[in-house]
Chain A
Amino acid sequence: NAGVTQTPKFQVLKTGQSMTLQCAQDMNHNSMYWYRQDPGMGLRLIYYSASEGTTDKGEVPNGYNVSRLNKREFSLRLESAAPSQTSVYFCASSPPRGGTGELFFGEGSRLTVL
């Protein structure tokens, strides 16, 4: 099983450019998440999707949009990248409600905005 797959793994953008981070999971999980990881700040939740067809803002949603394309896929879009969005982005998924919050993470996408 691949688990949670993120693409791309590395990306360099110029300020103002747009891009989409793709995430797919093959574990039939209902919930999916996007986090960003910055030194000394741990992981901060950007957006999450409790189930197919729903999305909600997390702690730091400004500057991002998401799409839950289907049960497997959850993409994160930066419409106009800013240097403050330089970070490592992690996608995660969790089982149905009975999974009680345990997350399964992808390998991360390192984004640099110049």
Chain B
Amino acid sequence: AQSVSQHNHHVILSEAASLELGCNYSYGGTVNLFWYVQYPGQHLQLLLKYFSGDPLVKGIKGFEAEFIKSKFSFNLRKPSVQWSDTAEYFCAVNWMDSSYKLIFGSGTRLLVRP
């Protein structure tokens, strides 16, 4: 079955700390990969996406993610977080053999302390 796992449900960091959020998906094949962010009280917004090419993808606000095909992983990173990064982060995967469905992970709540 298609599934997406996010290992960290809650993360608390101080400002300027580095961030890495894990994301794994259940099986291979051709995939499109996404990270979405939901700021408090807002709807989901796209943070970054991977379709093909360079496995290191850069997104908005200094975020980046690395696709490691052999590990079925797409981890999100940021070298130095800010208080404004406090949000919930969702990894999502679109398997190309079921092209209309985007499957989300359970999310990671990030709290950045000033």
Is the pair A100, B51 in contact by a Cβ cutoff of 8 Å? yes
**A40 in contact with B9 given A31-B100, A45-B101, A100-B51 (CB within 8 Å):** yes
B105 at the interface (CB under 8 A from A): yes
The listed residue (A42, A94, A105) touching B43 by CB distance below 8 A is: A105
Is the pair B90, A101 in contact by a Cβ cutoff of 8 Å? no
CA distance A100 to B34 in the complex (A): 11
CA distance A35 to B105 in the complex (A): 13
Is the pair A40, B34 in contact by a Cβ cutoff of 8 Å? no
**A48 in contact with B94 given A105-B43, A107-B43 (CB within 8 Å):** no
CA distance A37 to B46 in the complex (A): 16
B82 at the interface (CB under 8 A from A): no
The count of chain B contact residues (Cβ–Cβ below 8 Å) is 25
Tell me the nearest residue of chain B to A3, going by C-beta: B43
CA distance A24 to B83 in the complex (A): 34
CA distance A67 to B75 in the complex (A): 36
CB distance from B88 to the nearest CB of A (A): 9
Is the pair A41, B101 in contact by a Cβ cutoff of 8 Å? no
CA distance A4 to B42 in the complex (A): 13
B99 at the interface (CB under 8 A from A): yes
Q: Which chain A positions have C-beta within 8 A of B104?
A: 35, 42-44
Q: Which 9 A-B pairs have the closest CB atoms?
A: A101-B94, A42-B106, A43-B104, A42-B104, A50-B100, A105-B43, A105-B44, A101-B32, A107-B43
